[in-house]
Amino acid sequence: MDTKLTIRLNAEVIERAKIYASEQKISLSKLVESYLDNISKPKTEISEDIQITPFVKSLMGAAGSLPDNYDYKKEYRDYLEKKYQ
């Protein structure tokens, strides 16, 4: 059942949100509903099917792939040793 909700927000935030919703081809109401639904779910209900935002998708692969046996602690230790010689 849908219920009407009235909220007060900064006008600039509303305009940016409208543009974002339009770019995502969803209504502003659906955008707000989706956000509130996601943040209010108990941790046990959150599935692995969480939608990744376009911004996060754009970051994927930015660092490249690392080998399975990559030891970041050793790399950082080596970096610090070299830096403070």
- Per residue in 38-51, pLDDT (tens digit) is 888 777 655 566 67
In a domain, 76, yes or no: no
In a domain, 14, yes or no: yes
In a domain, 56, yes or no: no
Residue span of the structural domain in which 20 resides? 7-45
Residue 11 pLDDT > 90, yes or no?
yes
In a domain, 75, yes or no: no
In a domain, 77, yes or no: no
In a domain, 59, yes or no: no
The domain tally of the chain equals: 1
Each residue of 22-34: pLDDT tens digit?
A: 998 999 999 999 8
Residues 35 and 9: their CA atoms lie apart, in Å, by: 15
Half-sphere exposure of 16 (CA within 13 A, CB side): 5
Q: Is the dihedral of CA 18, 19, 22, 24 positive or negative?
A: negative
CA of 70: how far to CAs of 47, 60, 76, 82, 83, in Å? 28, 18, 11, 19, 21
In a domain, 24, yes or no: yes
Tell me the residue type at 49.
D
In a domain, 69, yes or no: no
Residues 70 and 22: their CA atoms lie apart, in Å, by: 42
